[in-house]
Amino acid sequence: MPGPLAHLTVIELAGIGPGPFACMLLADMGARVIRIDRPPTPARSDLDALMRNDSVVDRGRQSLALDMKDPRAVEAVLRLVAQADLLVEGYRPGVAERLGLGPAVCHARNPRLVYGRMTGWGQTGPLAQTAGHDINYVALSGALHAIGTGPQPLPPLNLVGDYGGGGMLLALGLLAAHAQVQAGGQGQVVDAAMTDGAALLMAAIYGMKAKGLWQDARQSNFLDGAAHFYGTYECSDGRHVAIGAIEPAFYRQLLELCGIDDPAFLRQWERAEWAALRERLAAVFRTRTRDEWCAVFDGSDACVAPVLSMEEVAAHPHNAARQTFVAPDGVLQPAPAPRFDRTPSVLPGVAPRAGADTEALLTQAGYSASEVAALLAARIAFAAPAA
């Protein structure tokens, strides 16, 4: 694979959410990601199917399916660990150790291995052994309290905990630890917790609060929906535009292009005026359709953009020009990012079926053809049937 991480091999102990997302980022940048899957079985419920994203987040993998309850399967994984650079697991603390794949065992096979642990609460602390989901981790960080309407917090999908504060943080930690290995260090454990990551994403907000520039109440601040110059407005066709005219020059352009000359709007930063100004600006935007307003603001610095649906995004001229979205086999998905000028990433292959690469990976691990056949016959290893 091309890409800046083409020299890396990653072992992914299959899971859901942020761990797979981190591995998608690495695969998108060219890393070879070997996913250790459970024996392939039909989805047991709609929830099982929902929790596994087999079309986008799991792209760019090879799959080795093993029954990890058998020590011979664990040995197969350890043979691959000896050849790898990174490992990612997303179990509760202690589970990997009980499987025989904890950091101590893996580092005994490969002292240079970077061992990534992705959890919600982290490896330590009073909540470490309890269940949770993105909304719970974000709640503990202060981020959920800050997002939503005045009366009620609003879950920001699962972007702040699972993906921004989880998977991206893990990917950064893995690459930082690997850089230290390349500088002559040894492997280490990376403890990535979504509570820590969601808190980290709030750094700027906590900084503003410390300076008295942020109130600890929803819809009271210039970035949380209170200010008339930063938010969304419904248009005459029921669709919306997003406004972010913070700086004075941009705000002036917004007013000019909206045809507003009311002197009340000159009091941009007077909080007491925000609610009334928002109502007046809302009335203005209800006079035209979303696309008509976009034509008015096209090419300006008024910081106005259409709120696009997931069905619309690929056709927008900017997204189309940058090929921000791709649709292999008709599956719309974001393209790899960021962009590299010398070692560009390309979209990796589609997500494999569990066990698609079992025989090849066992051979790479040093098993003979007869040994591979024996593992398959004993139902310790599983190969995906031919398509």
Residue 162 annotated to the active site: yes
Rounded distance, CA 147 to CA 223, Å? 10
> Are 229 and 280 spatial neighbours (Cβ–Cβ below 8 Å)?
no
- This prediction has a pTM of 0.94
Which distant-in-sequence residues (6+ apart) come within 8 Å of 103 by Cβ? Answer: 96, 115, 189
* 88: enclosing H helix or E strand: strand 86-89
Residue 136 pLDDT level (bands cut at 50, 70, 90)? very high
Residues 271-295: tens digit of each pLDDT: 999 999 999 999 999 999 999 999 9
6-15, 32-41, 66-75, 207-216: segment of lowest average pLDDT: 32-41
What pLDDT score was predicted for residue 387? Answer: 64
Instruction: Give yes or no for residue 43 having a pLDDT over 60.
Output: no
Residues 183-196: tens digit of each pLDDT: 999 999 999 999 99
Residue 42 pLDDT level (bands cut at 50, 70, 90)? low
Rounded distance, CA 239 to CA 294, Å? 12
> Are 189 and 124 spatial neighbours (Cβ–Cβ below 8 Å)?
no
> Are 18 and 46 spatial neighbours (Cβ–Cβ below 8 Å)?
no
Residues 246-278: tens digit of each pLDDT: 999 999 999 999 999 999 999 999 999 999 999
* Active-site annotation holder among 85, 162, 224, 357: 162
Residue 196 annotated to the active site: no
Instruction: Give yes or no for residue 50 having a pLDDT over 60.
Output: no
Rounded distance, CA 295 to CA 312, Å? 16
Tell me which of 182 and 387 has the higher pLDDT.
Answer: 182
Residue 113 pLDDT level (bands cut at 50, 70, 90)? very high
Rounded distance, CA 10 to CA 115, Å? 10
* Active-site annotation holder among 54, 133, 191, 240: 133
